Amino acid sequence: MSLNRNWVSYKILSIITLLLLFLRFGQILIVQSAIINELILILTFGCLLLLLLKSISLSNPFLKLFSTFATGISCLIVLVCIPCGFFGIISKDKGILECINELKCNNQSIKVYRKNGGATTDFGVMIREEKQILPRLLYVRTLFDKYHLDTIGIKVVEKNKLQILDVKNNDSIMAEITIGN
């Protein structure tokens, strides 16, 4: 009976850890507070440590080796991410996304971001549809993403249609996308 209870708690802890990782690194829900993101990482690290301790107590040698290796590597990856996030909080780093245009329509925001990967990469442009679910928690859907581009224009042509314009080529239409779905 205790082995079954141990296995159930292992599964529940695994699901909680995956949900925390999805909340932190997923691109659908975005937490806008850096401190909350770091707390999520710390909770994830704690869950991974508990999983590591539970995986050591498994009876099957293959499962024990695989689980210990997988959770150990995951612990190291999350452990490296925690100080990087705190450094970003302390240095007030804006990150690689810079909002260059925003359009409010249909109870949501359409934001145009310039992506700057650093000295060795070119600029890119990304358009995202963002809707606030809770304070500091956004539902995000990427509508357009293009590399080797630094400026674009956007124009609403219908209630749910958006035109993406190439500013450097006399506002020629690059794409038409549907919003609000």
CA distances from 1 to 6, 7, 8, 88 (A): 9, 10, 11, 47
What is the structure's pLDDT at 7?
A: 66
What is the structure's pLDDT at 110?
A: 87
What is the structure's pLDDT at 1?
A: 45
**Full-model pTM:** 0.63
- Show me where the domains of the chain are located: 2-91, 97-178
Half-sphere exposure of 172 (CA within 13 A, CB side): 4
What is the structure's pLDDT at 27?
A: 66
Q: List per-residue pLDDT tens for the chain, 181 residues long.
A: 455 666 677 778 788 887 777 777 766 667 767 777 778 888 888 888 888 888 887 788 888 888 888 888 888 888 887 787 666 655 555 567 788 888 887 778 888 888 887 777 788 888 888 888 877 778 888 888 888 877 788 888 887 888 888 887 777 777 888 877 6
Q: State the Cα–Cα distance between residues 78 and 129, nearest whole angstrom.
A: 29
Q: State the Cα–Cα distance between residues 42 and 40, nearest whole angstrom.
A: 5
What is the structure's pLDDT at 86?
A: 67
What is the structure's pLDDT at 91?
A: 52
